[in-house]
Amino acid sequence: MCGLFGALSFDGNAINAEHAVSMSARVAQRGPDDKGEYFDGPVMLGHRRLAIIDLSAAGHQPMQDSSERYSIVFNGTIYNYPELRTTLIDKGYQFKSQSDTEVIINAYACWGDACVERLHGMFAFAIWDSKQQNLFLARDRMGIKPLYYAVLARGFYFASNPQALLATGLFATDIDPVGLHHQLSLHAVIPAPRTLIKSIKKCRPAFHVNVTSGGKLTEKRYWSLMAKRPA
């Protein structure tokens, strides 16, 4: 279990560093082994690490690929990462660690959004493409790993829990009555994308989200029970 968080400004301004500190503190219990933040123009990525695969410093997050175009924060485990790593090495991609995090970032560099169709495991992650100025987020097929987000006119924020988003002080805490109804009638389960709080959404299982620096947000389902395994 790790904690991730981040933000993308729509007005080109840098994200307030105090927001990174506040958000990091609210996911600290998810990752006691390491922490890190990454700032690049309008984007901020942050991570609290629970080291499971590749316990060395090479698994530190946020992590960049060898070209430094892509940066990632990741929570979860990719079960088929050894096979994907071998495939990517055969395609010429380089690795400096034994982590599944690095497999994901190279998979994204290779296959783009479609990389998630090849991932078998439980995961939530965000990848920043500094060239395209695009933030890509994805959640595993069953929604095992949590991923929340909130949108303002001036920016997009995400985290492993709602508390990290509320810690910024930017979002209203009005209760979503439909979410409350689900909470009280569905054994404490609130179907995504709703949460108890109107301003905060959950990324839906088996969906990925693209957010541009210009403020355009698109969601897409990448898997269903009828899906075929990529060749």
Question: Catalytic site residues?
Answer: 2
Q: How far apart are CA 200 and CA 148, in angstroms?
A: 7
- Identify each DSSP E strand in the chain by its residue range: 3-9, 34-40, 43-49, 63-64, 70-78, 121-129, 134-139, 148-152, 155-159, 201-202, 207-212, 217-221
Token pair recorded at residue 210:
């693209």
Token pair recorded at residue 209:
């989200």
Residues 203/124, Cβ–Cβ less than 8 Å: yes
Can you tell me whether residue 6 is helix, strand or coil? strand
